[in-house]
Structure formats: structure tokens, C-alpha cells
């Protein structure tokens, strides 16, 4: 199994690379080639001074066949993969000409982010290492240059399109060029604002939680099982059922206060109480491998008192009445009463999928969706219970439905910003295509005869 195929999972298709080093150090081949005794690891193309091996293509082809299925002919997919890699290599060559750089700190940070994702997918670092027959250090070493190349290519692509803009006339022309039957239908979208009242947690409650956690720590130090205590008492739903075990994480992936303590622990050692935004923890080191740690923890979360929750609800109820009576505007109420961080942007809910303020129904929190279904644009809700996003504390909020669209075919009047983005992406792709055609003429590129019959989108060589 080729460990470097791991890289493709978190990248867009054109950035995917397949590689040739397998878990036993041998060149990988697909099952058919093995059965026929063929050697597929040959150079099929050269871009500048960089070679593209047939095993690069085969490994990626096998991955897609196993994970996603292949539509169309097998050779057609191999041709598509080759063209994507040609594009990648061409951008890296230009990045070197443009003196673009990626330092080791950036590469290592990206490596740790990806490896953490892979470890979570496999369930543990041990399973990942066993599957590929390599230590985490060996995997990082093999992936380092590949990830660096990908990051350089990403920089170069951004460099190519950084000055691309679209004028109003280009946006209109783009929309007019779309065939009628290809204009997408825009689903119902909502723009929602909120005022949040986040009751404080009392000093008495914080002391109560700390005392309980200290008692659990004492019991563990006296011989009781940390795992059992975590199953019985931890309020982290993700890890409690696993005895508090988190699995392997790298630096920068946990709460800073948690990390600062956890990375200093020795195997089996138990920390003092650690406070984070989630609550209060005690931590036990299980194992450390390089820059990754696997720990257990017990989390106890201080609770907002029922009295403070009622007080928050009553405050918001009064605020809603003031807004409905036009005694205060919603903007003024957000600024004066909201405890949420988004008060600085007028209380708008931000769509995590798009970064904008519009939501389709399925993108909304179920409780929010249930509430606004009964509302008309311009209406404000009664106080609605909620959990704060970062620390999952009980709170209340008022929801204001600013706008609600009906399902419709995209049009310039209602969907100008969306069409503008489509037009920009279309123009960026044209610029990239022109760039490829121009650079391919000036770059040494050779492709073996077996792949010259490919129906490439671009003309990569001047061979006839």
C-alpha cells in the first residue's frame, strides 16, 4: 500500500498526487499488472526537469476506482489524471521561477493537520502505522516534499488569478451566455440575526465543580481506574464512552491551556486541574510519539443556574417587546444587550459553509430552522434556548428573520452577488487555461507515445 496516496484525501482533484513508494519499499502496481508480470513504473512524461511515472497515474487511478468508482473508460480516466499532474508540475516549475517559497514551519503545520485527520480516520496512530508499515516519523518524512510541492502549486495558482476581476458588463454577458436549461434553481434562503444573552456562571458553581474534580483525582491517585472514572463522570460525550481517551493529536489542535499541560506529562502521569473554555479537566498521558500525544481526560462543565437562565430569558423578553413597540431598533438592541461575539457585525448568523449570511434550510441548526419556519421577514421571535457554540453553555437568544427568498431560477435582480461569483470563477478558469497554453509552449514537455492519443483539454506538446 502506498502511504502517499493519503495526501489526496483532503485536496481538490487537480491537486491530487499518487506516488510510488509502497509500505514494503517496492514500486506499487495494480492487480492486473501484477498478474501479467508487467512493470508499470516507467517515465510517461517529463515537465522541465520533473518526471511523471506511470505508477503515479496507476496509484491514483486505483484509489479512485476503489473509493469513488470510475465513469467512462479506464484509459480516459488515466489521461485525465496525467493532465492534472502535468498542470501540477507546470505550476511548481513556475513557482520556482517566481521565487515563491514555503518554509518548513508552514509545511510541518500542514503535515500535522493532515496526519491528525488521517489518524482520526484510522482510529489511532498505531493503526495508521500498522496499515502502512511505517512510523509516523517516516510517513512525515516521505510526505514532506510532496506537501511542499502542493503548497507551492496552490500559491502559484493564487498568483495567476490574484488580479482577475469582472466588470458589470462581463457579469451580464456571462449570465446571458448560460443555456436556459442550465441556469440553476436557487433554494429558499434565510438571512437571520440574533441577540444572545449568555448568563454568567457563579463562583459557587465553579468551586463545586473543582472540588468534585479534585475528589475524582484523589480517588484515581489512590488506585481507582481513570478510564472508569471518565466513563462514569466525564461530560465530554465524545471521549467519555472510550474511558476519556482522545486519540493522537498534534500541537495546535487542542485548547492551548490543555496542550500546555498535556505535552509536559509523562506516561501515566495525571495533571492538576486545567481550565479551558470547555470547562475543567484532569488529564492522564497515555503515549507520546514525536509531536503527537494520546491522553485521557475527565471534563466537568460548570452549569448556569436555573435562576440566572430565567433572568436572561426575562431580559430578552423585555428587549423583544421594546423592538416590537419600535422603542428601540434591532441594531441598537444588538449593540446594547447581546453577549455574542457577532454583535459587532449586527448580530448576523454566519454560514460556516459559505462565509456569508444566507442559509439554505438544511444548513441551519434544527432549533433555529424550527423557530423561523413560523416567522415572516421582519418578525422577531420570543426567547429561544440555545447552547453557546464554543463552550456549550446554556443561554437564550432572540432570532430576527431579516429576509426569506422563494425557490427560483437564478436571475440578475435577486442573485447578482452569486452570479458575480460564478462569472469570476469562469474568468479565472479562462485565465488559468490561457496560462497553461502559454507556459506549455515555453516549457520542455515530453509525453510517451502510449499517452499521445489522450484527448487532453490542452495542447501540452508540439508533437503531431
The pLDDT of residue 243:
94
DSSP helix/strand/coil, 399: strand
| Alpha carbons 304 and 201: distance in angstroms, whole number | 5
> CB-side exposure of 133: number of CA atoms within 13 Å?
8
Kindly give, in sequence order, each residue whose CB lies less than 8 Å from that of residue 42, ignoring residues fewer than 6 positions away: 53, 54, 448
Interval 81-139: pLDDT, tens: 999 889 988 998 888 888 888 888 888 888 887 887 777 777 777 787 888 788 877 88
The pLDDT of residue 7:
40
The pLDDT of residue 464:
52
Higher pLDDT pick, 55 / 299: 299
| Alpha carbons 156 and 94: distance in angstroms, whole number | 7
Q: What is the mean pLDDT of the chain?
A: 85
The pLDDT of residue 446:
92
Q: Which of 71, 72, 68, 74 is nearest to 30 (CA)?
A: 74
Asked if the model's pLDDT at residue 29 lies above 50, the reply is: no
Interval 226-274: pLDDT, tens: 999 999 999 998 889 889 998 888 777 788 999 999 999 999 999 999 9
Enter the DSSP assignment of 184: P
Q: Which fold has domain 203-300?
A: Chitinase A; domain 3 (3.10.50)
Would 3-163+440-451 and 203-300 be classified into the same CATH topology? no
The pLDDT of residue 396:
95
Instruction: Give pTM, 2 decimals.
Output: 0.60
Interval 269-299: pLDDT, tens: 999 999 998 899 999 999 988 778 899 999 9
> CB-side exposure of 440: number of CA atoms within 13 Å?
20
Report the CATH number of the 3-163+440-451 domain: 1.10.4030.10
Residue boundaries of the structural domains of the chain: 3-163+440-451, 188-201+305-406, 203-300
The pLDDT of residue 113:
79
The pLDDT of residue 231:
96
| Alpha carbons 251 and 249: distance in angstroms, whole number | 7
Interval 421-457: pLDDT, tens: 999 999 999 999 999 989 988 888 999 998 988 989 8
Give the mean model confidence (pLDDT) for residues 458-462. 83
Report the CATH number of the 188-201+305-406 domain: 3.10.50.40
Amino acid at each position: 500500500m502506498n502511504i502517499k496516496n493519503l495526501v489526496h484525501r483532503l485536496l481538490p482533484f487537480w491537486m491530487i498526487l499518487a506516488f510510488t513508494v509502497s509500505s514494503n519499499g517496492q514500486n506499487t502496481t495494480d492487480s492486473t499488472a501484477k498478474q501479467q508480470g508487467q512493470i508499470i513504473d516507467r517515465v510517461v512524461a517529463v515537465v522541465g526537469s520533473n518526471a511523471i511515472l506511470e505508477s503515479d497515474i496507476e496509484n491514483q487511478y486505483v484509489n479512485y476506482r476503489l473509493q469513488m468508482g470510475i465513469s467512462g473508460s479506464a484509459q480516459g480516466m488515466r489521461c485525465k489524471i496525467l493532465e492534472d499532474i502535468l498542470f501540477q508540475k507546470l505550476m511548481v516549475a513556475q513557482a520556482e521561477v517566481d521565487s515563491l517559497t514555503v518554509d518548513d514551519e508552514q509545511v510541518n503545520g500542514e503535515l500535522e493537520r493532515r496526519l491528525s485527520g488521517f489518524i482520526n480516520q484510522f482510529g489511532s496512530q498505531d493503526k495508521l502505522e500498522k496499515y502502512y508499515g511505517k512510523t509516523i516519523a517516516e510517513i512525515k518524512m516521505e510526505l514532506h516534499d510532496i506537501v511542499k510541492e502542493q503548497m507551492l502549486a496552490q500559491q502559484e495558482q493564487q498568483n495567476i488569478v490574484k488580479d482577475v476581476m469582472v466588470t458589470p458588463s462581463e457579469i451580464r454577458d456571462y449570465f446571458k451566455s448560460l443555456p436556459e436549461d442550465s441556469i440553476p434553481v436557487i433554494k429558499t434562503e434565510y438571512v437571520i440575526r440574533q441577540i444572545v444573552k449568555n448568563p454568567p456562571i457563579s463562583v459557587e458553581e465553579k468551586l463545586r465543580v473543582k472540588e468534585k474534580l479534585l475528589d475524582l483525582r484523589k480517588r484515581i491517585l489512590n488506585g481507582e481506574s481513570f478510564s472508569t472514572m471518565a466513563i462514569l463522570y466525564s461530560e465530554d460525550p465524545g471521549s467519555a464512552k472510550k474511558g476519556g481517551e482522545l486519540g493522537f493529536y498534534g500541537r495546535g489542535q487542542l485548547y492551548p491551556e490543555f496542550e500546555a499541560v498535556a505535552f509536559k506529562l509523562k506516561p501515566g502521569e495525571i495533571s492538576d486541574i486545567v481550565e479551558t473554555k470547555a470547562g475543567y479537566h484532569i488529564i492522564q498521558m497515555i503515549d507520546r510519539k514525536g509531536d503527537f500525544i494520546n491522553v485521557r481526560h475527565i471534563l466537568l462543565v460548570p452549569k448556569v443556574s436555573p435562576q440566572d437562565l430565567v433572568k436572561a430569558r426575562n431580559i430578552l423578553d423585555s428587549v423583544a417587546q421594546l423592538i416590537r413597540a419600535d422603542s428601540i431598533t434591532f441594531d441598537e438592541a444588538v449593540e446594547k444587550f447581546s453577549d455574542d461575539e457577532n454583535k459587532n457585525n449586527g448580530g448576523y448568523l454566519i454560514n460556516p459553509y459559505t462565509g456569508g449570511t444566507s442559509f439554505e434550510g438544511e444548513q441551519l441548526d434544527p432549533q433555529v430552522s424550527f423557530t423561523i419556519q413560523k416567522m415572516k421577514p421582519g418578525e422577531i421571535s420570543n426567547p429561544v434556548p440555545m447552547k453557546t457554540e464554543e463552550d456549550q453553555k446554556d443561554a437564550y437568544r432572540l432570532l430576527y428573520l431579516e429576509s426569506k427568498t422563494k425557490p427560483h431560477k437564478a436571475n440578475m435582480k435577486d442573485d447578482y452577488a452569486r452570479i458575480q461569483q460564478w462569472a469570476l470563477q469562469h474568468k479565472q478558469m479562462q485565465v488559468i487555461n490561457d496560462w497553461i497554453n502559454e507556459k506549455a509552449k515555453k516549457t520542455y514537455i515530453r509525453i510517451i507515445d502510449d499517452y499521445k492519443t489522450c484527448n487532453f483539454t490542452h495542447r501540452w506538446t508540439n508533437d503531431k
